[in-house]
Amino acid sequence: MQKLQTKLPLRLGLTLWSHPQWQQTFYGRGTTASERLEKYAQVFHTVEGNTTFYASPASKTVSNWKAATHDDFRFTFKLPKEITHELMLTGCRHALHTFLTLLEPIHERIGLWTIQLPAAFGPEFFPRLQQFCQLFPAHFPLGVEIRHPAFFTKGPEEKTLNQWLIEQKINRIIMDSRPVFAAPPETPATIDAQRKKPRLPVHAIATAGKPMMRFIGHPALNENHIFFQPWLNKLTAWIHEGRQPYVMIHTPDNALAPELAQQLYQSLQQKTALPDLAAFPAMKEQNQLPIFPDEFS
């Protein structure tokens, strides 16, 4: 499956590509679980690969991911939690090599290798991060998500981190969790999201050419637009600087994540020139249904 085009100004994606509640609204009737990635890649430009954080895929699965996507699609796989959370970036050279080798068939379709670090990874461990990033081939695009509060004070620890990321051309991943924490804790999904997601300041800094912003949305879709408003100018500025932002949209249960992503992307189109998203496969299917004459008229 190949689809080549000019460079996208911005890549829009979700936190996953497979969700049973998208069957009627996004995928279309009769779509099997194995066909969902292909349908997803017809609309969105990238995906946040959480699956690799929890378990490494089989080699056959990696081949299937390649077959289901096109040349202009980009995965942003998280490194396994064994490396980032259990080993805390030490003694993991072999584990990293194994992981990178496993994903070799789709190396050209990986937009960012994302290093999500736990809240316990504080400034005292910063040298570990510096040494660890040297293990990657120089041409591999990296993104780092830091969650320790010391890196959000605009003090010397954060300045040192940001300066090093800029020098190394490594992207700092930004999480905007304001929308989900603005929601009343009335549903199990929202309560769970507020329990698990970090509540940290939003420091919208681009340290390299592919800044990633993770937008953790409010469960009521219309409530998200006020929180997304500052991003309209920031993302537009990054695009005009020649960067290619990655925008990842979440909601507590992700049931309406495709619709939210579509709405927010359309608001961005009012600020800067972006190609239209393809229609959801389910919508295409509905538009292609044959129209039969009324036999009882």
Kindly list the structural domains of the chain, giving each domain's residue range(s) and its CATH number in brackets, ordered by start.
11-281 (3.20.20.410)
pLDDT for 213-253, tens place per residue?
Answer: 999 999 999 999 999 999 999 999 999 999 999 999 999 99
pLDDT computed for residue 293 by the predictor: 37
Asked whether the whole model's pTM tops 0.85, one would answer yes
Query: How would you label 2-12 residue by residue, b for 16+ Cβ within 10 Å and e otherwise?
Result: eeeeeebbbbb
pLDDT computed for residue 288 by the predictor: 55
Counting Cβ atoms within 10 Å, is residue 189 exposed (0-12), middle (13-18) or buried (19+)? Answer: middle
pLDDT beneath 70: ranges in the chain: 1-6, 287-297
pLDDT computed for residue 294 by the predictor: 33
Q: Where is 190: in which H helix or E strand?
A: helix 188-196
pLDDT computed for residue 290 by the predictor: 39
